[in-house]
Structure 1
Amino acid sequence: MLCAFKGEASKPDGYTSITIPAHTWAIFSSDPFTWDKFDATIETLYRRFFSEWLPTTGYEQVDGMEFEITGGKDGLNFVELWFAVRKIS
Structure 2
Amino acid sequence: MSSTNDTFNTDHNQTKSTGTVKWFNDAKGFGFITPDNGGEEIFAHFSSIQMDGFKTLKEGQKVSYETVQGPKGKQALNITSA
Structure (1/2) with the larger strand percentage: 2
Structure number with the higher helix fraction is 1
TM-score (norm 2): 0.28
Work out which of the two has the higher radius of gyration on C-alpha atoms and give 1 or 2: 1
TM-score, normalising length from structure 1? 0.27
Higher RCO (CA < 8 A, seq sep 6+): 1
